[in-house]
């Protein structure tokens, strides 16, 4: 029986015993239609099921049923995409083969030695001046696209006090501020507004400096720049065999803040207030500025 009122799938315990199903202990009870609580004898997992031309597997809970040997509930219906059609007295199984948006096949030329690693190493050596292992933290030149922060009319930038930090975080804050100051990416300021900073632990365990620009982002006029659609990218790359990837390191810090907008990026810390001369992470229109610059560079 298919029961839309049952949360799980059930089999009468004596039928489970007759079929020799291996049951995992389950010290739980179910509540039947008459509100009577019944103990679950156990659960059989991965039991093969065949309905018409459809076949698959499901889990069954062994319980003392009265009128039915097997009850397939919502657990099975969701997994098999089963739709009951009562007025026609049949079940519609929507499940089928997996659907692929695009399939990429890795092809290896026969008889040819693959030397991609050696080629990459040679390229890195040849262009080591533009692909250093560590990015030089220096103030970049203006590239024709600066990040602008346009606020809504009659709105002043937010003024928020610094967040409290542990001693280890304060030491890390001092270290990162010194690095940004020495590279000319930030400078001290006396702006009457600013937002706090905090730390977020990275995957490697190090602390990443985050600036809480949420209040500033709420009052910023949004740049509705069209971001590339994933579906279009799949259409363009679906039949490609060779791919290149351009990965920018700290790319936001290679974009300048527009003149007279630097003060709007002010962050408040235990060691003073600082404004960014480059585009910091966390600003609402930063991705749009990045895409604008990239499209301009590749167009040229």
SS (H, E, C) 168-233: HHHHHHHHHHHHHHHCCCEEECCCCCEEEEEEEECCCCCEEEEECCHHHHHCECCCCCCCCCHHHH
CATH 3.10.10.10 describes domain 145-299 = yes
Residue 72 CA to residue 2 CA, distance in Å, equals: 5
Q: What is the DSSP string of 115-132?
A: -HHHHHHHHHHHTTTTS-
Nearest of 275, 274, 276, 269 to residue 253 by alpha carbon = 276
Supply the pTM of this predicted model.
0.57
Q: Where are the alpha helices (DSSP H) in 220-274?
A: 230-237
Residues of the chain with CATH 3.10.10.10: 145-299
Residue 15 CA to residue 268 CA, distance in Å, equals: 70
pLDDT digit string (tens) for the chain, length 300 residues: 787 778 788 888 888 888 888 888 776 777 666 656 777 778 888 888 887 777 778 888 888 877 778 888 888 887 777 777 777 777 777 765 455 555 666 666 554 555 667 787 888 888 887 777 666 667 888 988 999 999 999 888 899 999 999 999 999 999 999 999 998 999 999 888 899 999 998 888 899 999 999 999 999 999 988 877 888 888 888 778 777 777 777 778 889 999 999 999 999 999 999 999 999 999 999 999 998 998 888 876
Percentages of the chain per state (helix, strand, coil), in multiples of 5: 25, 25, 50
Nearest of 58, 73, 66, 59 to residue 1 by alpha carbon = 73
Q: How many other C-beta atoms can be found within 10 angstroms of the C-beta atom of residue 43?
A: 22
């Amino acid at each position: 029986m298919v029961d839309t009122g049952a949360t799980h799938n059930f089999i009468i315990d004596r039928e489970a015993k007759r079929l020799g199903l291996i049951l995992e202990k389950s010290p739980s009870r179910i509540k039947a239609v008459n509100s009577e609580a019944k103990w679950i004898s156990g659960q059989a997992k991965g039991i093969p099921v065949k309905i018409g031309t459809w076949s698959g597997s499901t889990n069954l809970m062994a319980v003392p049923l009265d009128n039915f040997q097997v009850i397939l509930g919502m657990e099975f219906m969701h997994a098999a995409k089963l739709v009951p059609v009562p007025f026609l007295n049949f079940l519609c199984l929507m499940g089928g083969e997996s659907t692929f948006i695009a399939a990429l096949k890795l092809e290896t030329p026969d008889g040819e030695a693959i030397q991609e690693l050696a080629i990459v190493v040679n390229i890195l050596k040849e262009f080591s001046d533009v692909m250093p292992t560590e990015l030089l933290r220096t103030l970049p030149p203006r590239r024709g696209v600066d990040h602008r922060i346009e606020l809504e009319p009659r709105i002043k930038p937010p003024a928020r006090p610094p967040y409290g930090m542990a001693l280890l975080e304060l030491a890390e804050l001092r270290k990162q501020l010194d690095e940004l100051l020495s590279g000319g990416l930030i400078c001290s300021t006396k702006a009457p507004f600013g937002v706090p900073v905090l730390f977020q632990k990275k995957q490697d365990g190090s602390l990443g400096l985050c600036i809480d620009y949420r209040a500033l982002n709420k009052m910023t006029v949004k740049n509705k720049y069209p971001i590339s659609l994933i579906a279009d990218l799949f259409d363009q790359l679906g039949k490609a065999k060779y791919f290149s990837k351009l990965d920018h390191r700290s790319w936001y810090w290679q974009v300048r803040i527009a003149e007279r907008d630097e003060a709007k990026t002010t962050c408040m810390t235990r060691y003073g207030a600082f404004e960014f001369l480059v585009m910091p992470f966390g600003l609402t229109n930063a991705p749009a500025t990045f895409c604008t610059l990239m499209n301009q560079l590749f167009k040229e």
